[in-house]
Amino acid sequence: MGVFAAVGVLLPFPYYYWLWTNPQAWVNLCGKDKNPSKVMSYVSHFLKLLQFISLFSVSTLSWPPPLYFWPLFGFGQFLNFRVYQLLGESGTYYGVRFGKNIPWVTQFPFGVIQDPQYVGSILSLFACLSWTPFQYILLWTLGYVFMIYVESKEDPATRAKPIS
């Protein structure tokens, strides 16, 4: 396994862990005039780009993809887009941890699929197995499983207070 590719694949997870466990520090770092969820989304998109570059560096692309690619990738991306559609930026990017009031959502896929955004991401990753060595897909998946565990232990008392 290439060390640089492995590190690149795992890069976002320490960041997500730190934000989840230290939301007040992030809110303070962002300051009064910045939306911490928006800033998180910018950093997350940059880290996601580095993840994709890392994965691409160890992949061998070929066309057409196997038939299993389309349903896995399509449904995975549908779940990701649906979660973002229902929760918005603040709901998707830890707004509740940053002291924002995020309404509880019950529409599909919530209430049917536990952790639908992570499930969607994992399905999308497994769709790429014909191109990417399994160990990198597994490593990325383990990062998501770790975050599912971390986020399942949310303590409302540790949520950040908005800066006034």
- Write down the pLDDT at residue 144: 98
- The angle, 0 to 180 degrees and rounded to 10, between the axes of the packed helices 116-127 and 134-152 is 180
User: What would the pLDDT profile of 29-52 be if each residue is shown by its tens digit?
Assistant: 999 999 999 999 999 999 999 999
What's the pLDDT at 107? 95
User: pTM here?
Assistant: 0.92
Length, in residues, of the chain: 164
Residues 6+ away with beta carbon under 8 Å from 159: 23, 96, 97, 98, 99
Determine the pLDDT at residue 38: 97
Q: What number of other Cβ atoms are within 10 A of residue 134's Cβ?
A: 10
Answer whether residue 1 shows pLDDT above 90.
no
C-alpha to C-alpha distance for 140 and 10, rounded to whole angstroms: 6
pLDDT reading at 161 higher than 80 = yes
Give tens-digit pLDDT for 68-90: 999 999 999 999 999 999 999 99
**pLDDT digit string (tens) for 102-142?**
999 999 999 999 999 999 999 999 999 999 999 999 999 99
Binding positions for S-adenosyl-L-methionine are 74-76, 154-155
Q: Which residues are annotated as a binding site?
A: 74-76, 154-155
Cβ contacts of 128-135, under 8 Å, gap ≥ 24? 128/55, 128/59, 128/69, 128/73, 130/62, 130/65, 130/66, 130/69, 131/59, 131/60, 131/61, 131/62, 131/65, 132/55, 132/58, 132/59, 133/1, 133/58, 133/59, 135/1
Burial class (CB in 10 A: 0-12, 13-18, 19+), 102: middle
